Structure 1
């Protein structure tokens, strides 16, 4: 078997095992939370018999390990369960499938993440390449200081600064990113501009500095010196010779930051009241809607693992020693 194929299969197996471990941690963490959903819904005045009957209706009376295997089995068939929201002691069940709650919110989060990636990734690559090209110049130092400044601020602080300057003092963009199914594409882009800009300012420094460091590290290689002796220009050396060999670390940091765009948008979604999956998870934690919390956490974990697997595979494929084994 070719080394690349065996390495990819090993990474996929490791990813599935990691996802299994994460699912156990998610379920166990929710089990260890204080309080009880039945008591929180029925109130303190409810009798013990009423709480017991309500827990039995929800399936919370079963042992934890049985509920875990039932949950995992349902997830493997595409069933994320039924939301606890809408259930009441009166017996009227207005709950909805978790998939119906998560799907539109996940689409909103992926739209915001995709819009941010379209801005942040090309910008980070451009700044990283040009900073390496003009290393130690005023431009290089300015870019480094600016990106380090933006990354040192918390997301909510950057968000409030953008709201202050671009929505209040100079009303260029709307301060709230409230979108729904009826929002047109143009309005959706306009309303998600400030959240996307906030995320861009937060993540662009990681990708820019990794791109710059990877290229500068390769500039001391013998084949780069040979290209210089042959009369190649500095920009040609970086773009044609250094950049292709720097894709492995660059792809890794891009994958980490793309995973953050999906996993770490909770604060940004809350600040801008954006109806994404992060906001849904916060609301579900508040109402103790366990199936929704489990689904959101599993989606976050799966996204992070998948993007890291993609980064590993790109790093493997771009490795000449694996592409051309002896």
Structure 2
């Protein structure tokens, strides 16, 4: 237990260091954007005195390192600042958008994870058969298509021709749970199709690698059915890499929703960051980027810890 806690502590410290480096990159990248923020917001007709006063109110007259320390200190105290476009507190602006993104990612995971596990198990049991090859063709095809292409195909089928699902995912705080599920059906299905193939192929590969082991052959010689051998002997040893790839795809579902949210005009964090970039609302862009980075680092940390806990050999590297 002590070694596990030590390893988790090391991974947490490494994740915190990674996030700090990412925060520097985000801040520096925003500062290197062409043009002057104050002039962009006030317009070309603003007088130099007005621009200077506005820059001072935003803290843009301070050196870069002081602006970064002020921004980082505010975030550590839970203060993301104020949005330039609306004047609202960024935390209050982001909270409902973050909930919408998490709800969409969770819905896509509920669709994709069971299908990936089932498809991977079926492909592993029927390896080198027509079923296995058909599943491989489907998964490779879904990996090859970008998200926006899958989204437009689903819109064409289910919204335009069938007319059973809405093409725009318009939700707010007053939307009921059933209406919310209906509204996010197409974007959730799009994300599920995108991540399904990777998880399914990893599940198949992990199980196939285990089916050739001696203890699996011993279980078969005892007269156990193939499904019982798979469930009781193969799957428990395959959960490590499967859980890792599932968590990594969850990270993608949350941080990779920008394109899908823009296509379906879904009011999530991805749509917010795109709108903020168009409005040159720099504080909101920085906050959204850092939240995406923190989510990705946290889920990658979770995947790393899961791989170590489920495989004791990784606890004693040589």
Flag whether TM exceeds 0.5 (same fold). yes
Runs of 4+ in 1 over 6 A off after TM superposition: 322-325
| 2:138 counterpart of 1:146 | yes
Q: For structure 1, which segment, 246-255 or 120-129, has the greater mean C-alpha deviation from structure 2 after superposition?
A: 246-255
Given that 2:81 and 2:90 are in contact with CA atoms closer than 8 Å, whether structure 1 keeps it comes out as: yes
Partner of 1:5: 5
Structure 1 range deviating more: 176-185 or 215-224:
215-224
Aligned counterparts of 1:153 and 1:321: Cα–Cα separation in 2 = 37
Distance 1:25 1:222 in 2: 50
1:225 positional shift: 2.1
Question: 1-side partners of 2:243 and 2:25: how far apart?
Answer: 28
Q: Which residue of 1 aligns with 2:52?
A: 52
Are 1:65 and 2:65 matched, yes or no? Answer: yes
Equivalent position SS for 2:82: coil
Q: Given the superposition, is the C-alpha separation of residues 259 and 100 from structure 1 closer, same or farther in structure 2, using an over 3 Å criterion?
A: same
Q: Does 1:202 align with 2:194?
A: yes
> Structure 1 length as normaliser, TM-score?
0.94
Superposition deviation, residue 324 in structure 1? 11
**2:41–2:280 CA contact under 8 A, matched in 1:** no
1:49: Cα distance to partner? Answer: 2.1
Q: 2:159 — aligned with what?
A: 167
Q: 2:265 aligns with which of 265, 268, 273?
A: 273
Give the distance between the partners of 1:225 and 1:19, measured in 2 at CA.
46
Q: 2: distance between equivalents of 1:282 and 1:322? A: 41
Which one of the candidate residues 85, 94, 112 is aligned to 1:120? 112
Q: Does 1:300 align with 2:286?
A: no
Deviation larger for 222-231 or 75-84: 222-231
Q: Structure 1: how far apart are the matches of 2:54 and 2:176?
A: 43
CA distance in 1, matches of 2:119, 2:20: 39
Q: Distance in 2 between matches of 1:99 and 1:244?
A: 42
TM-score (ref. length: structure 2): 0.96
Match of 2:128 in 1: 136
Moved more, 68-77 or 221-230: 221-230
Contact 1:147-1:204 within 8 A present in 2 as well: yes
SS in 2 for 1:177: coil
Unaligned runs of 5+ in 2: none
Counterpart in 2 of 1:180? 172
Size of the alignment, in residue pairs? 317
Q: Quick check: 1:99 aligned with 2:95?
A: no
Question: Is the partner of 1:267 in helix, strand or coil?
Answer: helix
